[in-house]
């Protein structure tokens, strides 16, 4: 059975550990055959009962993307902060400090 694009995206997002974030573009590159926009659509389609950590995916500027109501998700920020992620006064995350380095970075190390 062929894996759907959303299934590939969700598989990659499931690899992002607590206390780390990934960008939409990064997830797209790792999942393959999709765009950052596709990742955004997939994140907005995560079912409520799912355990996919959608909140760990942010934009390339380190910010929480604006939702359909025109504001960033305060729930997403709270979830990230509860995992130890710190936001600047401008509302961004330091990707050098909190960015996930990809699946290979998780093998046998905790680089924090």
Over residues 32-65, the pLDDT tens digits come to 999 999 999 999 999 989 999 999 999 999 999 9
Residue 20 in contact with residue 98, Cβ under 8 Å? yes
Which of 22, 3, 38 minimizes the C-alpha distance to 105? 22
Q: What is the CB-side half-sphere exposure of residue 64 using CA atoms within 13 A?
A: 24
pLDDT in tens, 6-26: 999 999 999 999 999 999 999
3-state SS assignment for residue 19: coil
Tell me which residue range forms the domain holding 38: 5-101
Does residue 55 lie in a domain region? yes
Confidence at residue 112, expressed as pLDDT on a 0 to 100 scale: 41
Q: What is the DSSP letter of 35?
A: -
Q: Does residue 110 lie within any of the structural domains?
A: no
Residue pair 40/6 in contact by the 8 Å Cβ criterion? no
Model-level pTM?
0.91
Q: Is residue 15 part of a domain?
A: yes
Number of structural domains the chain divides into: 1
């Amino acid at each position: 059975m062929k894996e759907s694009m959303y299934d590939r995206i969700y598989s990659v997002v499931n690899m992002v550990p607590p206390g780390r974030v990934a960008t939409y573009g990064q997830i797209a590159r790792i999942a393959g055959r999709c765009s950052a926009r596709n990742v955004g659509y997939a994140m907005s389609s995560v079912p409520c009962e799912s355990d996919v950590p959608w909140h760990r995916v942010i934009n390339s500027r380190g910010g929480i993307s604006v939702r359909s109501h025109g504001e960033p998700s305060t729930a997403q920020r709270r979830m990230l902060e509860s995992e130890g992620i710190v936001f600047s006064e401008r509302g961004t995350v330091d990707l050098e400090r909190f960015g996930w380095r990809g699946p290979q970075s998780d093998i046998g190390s905790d680089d924090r």
